[in-house]
Structure 1
Amino acid sequence: MKRLGIERVIIVGLDGLDPAILEAMLAAGELPNFATLRDQGGYGRVATTLPAQTPVAWSSFATGTNPGAHGIFDFVSRDPQTYRLELALNRYEQAGVFQPPRVVNLQRGTPFWRLLSDQGIPSSVIRCPCTYPPDPIEGRMLSGMGVPDLRGGFGTGTYYSTAEGITAGEAERVVRLPGAGPGAIETVILGPNHPRTRAEIRVPIVLDSVPDAGKVILRSTGEPQSLVLEVGRWSDWLRVSFRLGLLQSTSGLVRFFLVSMGPDRLSLYCSPIQFDPEAPPFPISSPEAFAGDLKRAIGRYHTTGLAEDHAALSNGRISESAFLDQCNDLWREREAMFEHELSRFQSGVLYCLFGIPDRIQHLFWRYRDPGHPANRGRPFVADHKNAIAEAYRRSDAQVGRALRAADDQTLVIALSDHGFGPFRRGVNLNTWLYEQGLLAVSTGDRAGDPNGAPLGHIDWSRTKAYSIGLGGIFLNLRGREGLGVVDPEDAEPLKAALAASLSGLVDPAHGAVAIRSVIAREQVYSGPFVDEAPDLLIRFGTGYRTSWGSAMGQLGEAVFEENTRLWAGDHIVDPVLVPGILLMNRPFRPEGASLLDLAPTVLDTFGLPAGPKMEGRTLLR
């Protein structure tokens, strides 16, 4: 029996919306649709996960369980036997050389949409993290965070330039162009590796400059064969085919941004290669044809799980204005998807995630914090001062879309997975472990080879603990790690000593508490996958986060370092500092609300009990 006469549920997922910002803008009357939703039902802050990280939090939202029960703890993990870093959201498996590879989703809880499907209740799930590969459900699903680019990473762009001495930055390739004088420039698009030879597949392109018009004509065998590139603007999509064999190929989509051109210079950025929604190498939708149907309905669209080219901005390849232009394109794509699904939404659940606010806050937080280290040596562009506020206004517009589509039998939910704050100082956890004599290096340079494998410089025979990811420490445990040295009976005393020493760690340069507390995984996680989690979890203080190097197992020069990158805001801190937001158009219980409560709440609206492993409880009164 349905609760409160509810026939439909619309969930607007707004990644990273922060309660303090939302509440201030509500009070100022700047978010009328949020205000309507609040007045119809209620508003509250919602507790997030530890860590307060997008794939972890949305997995708990979907399954109603803590990370120990769904198995997602971070973006990256490690193979304990080889110490090799791996993507933690999914993996590829191949039974034999004559068998095609398949994708395995490493989120192993049971999302509410599968329980609804078992009862014949449809769901339309658009871009929820950790849905690659997609679940076969009653309804439709388009995969979100976890979908790689065609090269297999989270998003690797290519920078082309006639300038000499340019080295590749984070998540990018660099292609040196010959001088940009009269005549055409021949170069290539760098594609995926050949599945058999592992050689990089390259597609030839020709660049014809039209200097007087500020344009370049890109010619290729792709679709279209002639593509116009204009300085300071994103191009249309180019569909490119990469040959894998005599009768086999795979296609991908790319866009270009012409950075600059002149009589003897040319610089050009190429986006990561997106899966072609009409012919992806692995399914990205359920049913499989849905991704292509959506393309035919709204046009071509980004398919990578992290679609915003944040690395290109951080590496200085594109400007903040170019990044915001791309974000506007992504808003329009997602809005078109949302409207398309709303137009045919009859019953069940419709969920759509808007991830753009999270990325804009990461990269434009410096405008909220004039003293942030990221502002040193960088211009303060007045037009960008309101970029974050504008993302909240655009989020408000999505709530308005949901409200217009709702009737008196529709439950509308708007929520975020976590809040936000400044990221001013990084903590080099591996450096701290090194200084405590708990981590050793095998090279004379403790930083190791910057181009070498992550963790490759560590001497495992003399290392008791190490850190990877965005907030965890692993013991080098004998019998678990390939070269473990910590005996199992010594593990608990070592964990207790580490937690005691790191908890309350003060940054001497500022007198601030950088680490509020350190907690053993067993104290916060339960379920079949706890053993995959870091042994210790770090709760950082406001303004602090794991350093960039420590996330990849590296050591810095000192325990603390300034974060001068454009990625100036973050949320991987003590979860109590960054709750999310929750609004409904029905009265609900805001006190003590948690992300774990949302799945039971959705099931409750259809008169269904919470799943047998769900830990939350319904929020409906």
Structure 2
Amino acid sequence: MKKVIVIGLDGLEPTIVDAMLARGELPNLARLREQGGYSRVGTTTPAQTPVAWSSFATGLNPGGHGIFDFIKRDPRTYLPDLALNRYESRGAFLPPKAVNLRGGTPVWEILGEAGVGSSILRCPVTYPPDPVRGRMLAGMGVPDLRGGLGTTTFYTFDAAATPRESENVVHLKSSADGTIETHLIGPRNPKDRSDLRFPFTIRPEPAARRVVIRSAGSPAEVAIREGEWSDWLHVKFKLGLLQSIRGMVRLHLVRVEPSVELYASPVNFDPEAPLFPISHPPAYAGDLAATIGTYHTTGMVEDHTGLVNERLTEEAFLDQCDLAWREREAMMLLELERFDQGLFYCLYDTTDRVQHLFWRYGEPDHPANRGKAPDPRFSSVIADVYRRSDAIVGKALDHADDRTLLVVLSDHGFGSFRRGVNVNTILHDMGLMALRDGARPGPDCRDFFHDVDWSGTKAYALGLGGIYLNLQGREGQGQVAPGEADSVRSAIVDRLRGLVDPVLGATAINQVRTREQAYSGAFLGEAPDLLVDFAPGYRTSWGTSLGGLPEGHFEDNIKKWSGDHIIDPLLVPGVLFMNQPFRADAPDLLDLAPTILAALGVPKGAAMEGKSLLA
């Protein structure tokens, strides 16, 4: 083969694909199946986007590449931290350096060493980007300008409004002439950690159902109609007389009357002048913008927190998803037009985000519907994004000749998330977690382990399925002696394995595995001590994931984030299509990197665990 084209469709669920194929609704995937084949593909533990795509890229299980979740804990402080990258200080007078925390050797690096080029668009855990032989635009892991994965802002006259998930709230006041002076919250000042601000004014025009935004940004004036999004507003946050940080934002006008409510997207890096490099070579991000227009740069493009926080309507969220999709398609087509050899990869994330937020529309009794009949206008949203995915496959097929291996895959499947399991609360009731100052599990027990008494704690849960022992010599206030670790682990496994939800009478947890059972490799010591494999319909509760202890052992999931995939990985395989015959006996994500290398005539990496699937 001369070329390998890989199209990632994040989260495509095999049972949905099967049904739509049977109805003739995915003609391009059907064509791909006829040319080569179609199969399920095994995913990772956990079945989570950054974990799975890191295994795709390196051919290693998570113990070999070190990505186990979106978040990890600092064992000294127990506080959660982002697990995909970090910033290292280079001295008092130098800016920090971004460091990618994914270990292992990705397939594009091995290809580059063999003299074969790659074009990689938005693969997760590529921030900062790898120095590829070719071009790379970083994907999941690129922060917003605040340093988060998606920090939004809500503007309101409601003085009682408080911030929701990953959100800032700015309270508005009108001046005598009716204009509103306010600001955009930017990055923190490195000198004193105060928030940098970009001022702007809002002039409401109720008769026209719009507002006009004026600022020193570009464009200087932006008119936004009610229920619509603005174009990109390019802004500068001043650090000093000659220093500024560039960013860009889109604004959505929620309403004009009875009082203005405005929503601001996360402030994205400006691709022409990002705070840290987001592409390789560094100028590529700006060159891309000059060719296709301004595009989202954050790693989590789709603005899901706006809908989860009920600041955006479903229509507004889908409008934003449509723009994100069109941006990605433009990138893909630009690169495919000039792609003549090597590896091309492009990921579409929207498939995953839409299923997370619209799964409830296929289940009238889902707790997230809160007893109301789902709006029929959104009943076909998931099927629509699958059909749109199929159209993308058709465009990729147009660029695949007889010397091209075309691979289309998802990193995991999907399912319903109806009930959350309060793992920390169970550990507390087992006597393995202690609370201080008379605190009890419930709404007054704060996140980030704020009320935990570590001197009386032997185990704790953090993230989307991991449990850690409070080990002596490893954790800051470790209480479990090395000789006691096995008995503590066994007690947790015995308690959680086969856990039954008393309300529904259903099994909530299929299995609990030790990290040695789930992983191997250089990063094994950084993995959670235990991994929880949830049954369909269940997941770690929202409170547990951030170190909270909600009341009770189970809770209904009433958030609009109603679908998920962090369950027993055997139950959520991805899909795999190729235009060449391939070995379909239990293919795994670990097999993809060796397959790509084999197709291009390059030996697989010595550490890679998978095998080529090519027949």
Matching residue of 2:565: 571
Matching residue of 2:217: 222
Could you tell me which amino acid in structure 1 is paired with residue 213 of structure 2? L
Could you tell me which amino acid in structure 2 is paired with residue 88 of structure 1? A
Could you tell me which amino acid in structure 2 is paired with residue 354 of structure 1? Y
1:119-174 CA-to-partner distances (Å, cap 9, x unmatched) read: 11000000000000000011100000000000000001000012231111101011
Say if 1:259 and 1:469 are closer, same or farther in 2 by CA, change over 3 A.
same
Q: How does 1:24-103 map to 2 (within 5 A)?
A: 24-103=19-98
Say if 1:53 and 1:181 are closer, same or farther in 2 by CA, change over 3 A.
farther
Matching residue of 2:164: 169
Matching residue of 1:3: none
Say if 1:244 and 1:379 are closer, same or farther in 2 by CA, change over 3 A.
farther
Matching residue of 1:266: 260
Deviates more, 1:238-247 or 1:476-485: 238-247
Matching residue of 2:580: 586
Say if 1:245 and 1:182 are closer, same or farther in 2 by CA, change over 3 A.
closer
Distance in 2, matches of 1:246 and 1:487, equals 56
Could you tell me which amino acid in structure 2 is paired with residue 177 of structure 1? L
Q: 1:422 aligns with which of 416, 424, 435?
A: 416
Kindly, what percent of the aligned residue pairs are identical?
57
Could you tell me which amino acid in structure 1 is paired with residue 79 of structure 2? R
Say if 1:540 and 1:451 are closer, same or farther in 2 by CA, change over 3 A.
closer
Could you tell me which amino acid in structure 2 is paired with residue 425 of structure 1? R
Matching residue of 1:192: 187
Distance in 2, matches of 1:353 and 1:142, equals 11
Q: Are residues 1:233 and 2:223 paired?
A: no
For residue 578 of structure 1, report the CA deviation from its aligned partner. 0.3
Q: 2:247 aligns with which of 245, 248, 252?
A: 252
Q: Are residues 1:132 and 2:127 paired?
A: yes
For residue 307 of structure 1, report the CA deviation from its aligned partner. 1.1
Q: Are residues 1:178 and 2:173 paired?
A: yes
Could you tell me which amino acid in structure 2 is paired with residue 195 of structure 1? P
Distance in 2, matches of 1:245 and 1:515, equals 54
Could you tell me which amino acid in structure 1 is paired with residue 252 of structure 2? F
1:532-591 CA-to-partner distances (Å, cap 9, x unmatched) read: 000000000000000000000100100100000000000000001100000000000111
Matching residue of 1:492: 486
Matching residue of 1:347: 341
Is the Cα–Cα contact under 8 Å of residues 46 and 580 in structure 1 kept in the other structure?
A: yes
For residue 99 of structure 1, report the CA deviation from its aligned partner. 2.4
Q: How does 1:464-483 map to 2 (within 5 A)?
A: 464-483=458-477
Could you tell me which amino acid in structure 2 is paired with residue 17 of structure 1? L
Could you tell me which amino acid in structure 1 is paired with residue 35 of structure 2? Q
Is the Cα–Cα contact under 8 Å of residues 65 and 104 in structure 2 kept in the other structure?
A: yes
Say if 1:278 and 1:85 are closer, same or farther in 2 by CA, change over 3 A.
same
Q: 2:385 aligns with which of 391, 394, 398?
A: 391
Distance in 2, matches of 1:312 and 1:597, equals 37
Distance in 2, matches of 1:318 and 1:485, equals 45
Q: Are residues 1:277 and 2:285 paired?
A: no
For residue 369 of structure 1, report the CA deviation from its aligned partner. 1.2
Matching residue of 1:147: 142
Distance in 1, matches of 2:384 and 2:440, equals 44
Distance in 2, matches of 1:608 and 1:309, equals 39
Distance in 2, matches of 1:277 and 1:557, equals 45
The gaps in structure 2 that reach 5 residues or longer are none
Q: 3-state DSSP class of the match of 1:265?
A: coil
TM-score by length of 1: 0.98
Is the Cα–Cα contact under 8 Å of residues 443 and 550 in structure 2 kept in the other structure?
A: no
Distance in 2, matches of 1:484 and 1:89, equals 25
Q: Are residues 1:209 and 2:204 paired?
A: yes
Q: Are residues 1:105 and 2:100 paired?
A: yes
Q: 3-state DSSP class of the match of 2:57?
A: helix
Is the Cα–Cα contact under 8 Å of residues 309 and 323 in structure 1 kept in the other structure?
A: yes
1:161-192 CA-to-partner distances (Å, cap 9, x unmatched) read: 12231111101011111259852111111111
Matching residue of 1:334: 328
Deviates more, 1:70-79 or 1:441-450: 441-450
Distance in 2, matches of 1:541 and 1:452, equals 27
Deviates more, 1:174-183 or 1:60-69: 174-183
Q: How does 1:396-545 map to 2 (within 5 A)?
A: 396-447=390-441, 454-545=448-539
Could you tell me which amino acid in structure 1 is paired with residue 464 of structure 2? L
Distance in 2, matches of 1:364 and 1:133, equals 32
Say if 1:336 and 1:433 are closer, same or farther in 2 by CA, change over 3 A.
same
The gaps in structure 1 that reach 5 residues or longer are 1-5
Deviates more, 1:512-521 or 1:98-107: 98-107
Is the Cα–Cα contact under 8 Å of residues 428 and 550 in structure 1 kept in the other structure?
A: yes
1:225-270 CA-to-partner distances (Å, cap 9, x unmatched) read: 00111111111000000011221111101000000012x4110000
Q: CA RMSD in A?
A: 1.3
Counting matched residue pairs gives 615
Is the Cα–Cα contact under 8 Å of residues 448 and 456 in structure 1 kept in the other structure?
A: no
Is the Cα–Cα contact under 8 Å of residues 8 and 348 in structure 1 kept in the other structure?
A: yes
Is the Cα–Cα contact under 8 Å of residues 448 and 457 in structure 1 kept in the other structure?
A: no
Q: 3-state DSSP class of the match of 2:260?
A: strand
Distance in 2, matches of 1:610 and 1:179, equals 64
For residue 446 of structure 1, report the CA deviation from its aligned partner. 2.6
TM-score by length of 2: 0.98
For residue 394 of structure 1, report the CA deviation from its aligned partner. 0.7
Could you tell me which amino acid in structure 1 is paired with residue 414 of structure 2? F
Is the Cα–Cα contact under 8 Å of residues 162 and 180 in structure 1 kept in the other structure?
A: no
Distance in 2, matches of 1:196 and 1:590, equals 56
Q: 3-state DSSP class of the match of 1:148?
A: coil
1:354-408 CA-to-partner distances (Å, cap 9, x unmatched) read: 0001000000000111110001155622221100001100110111111001111
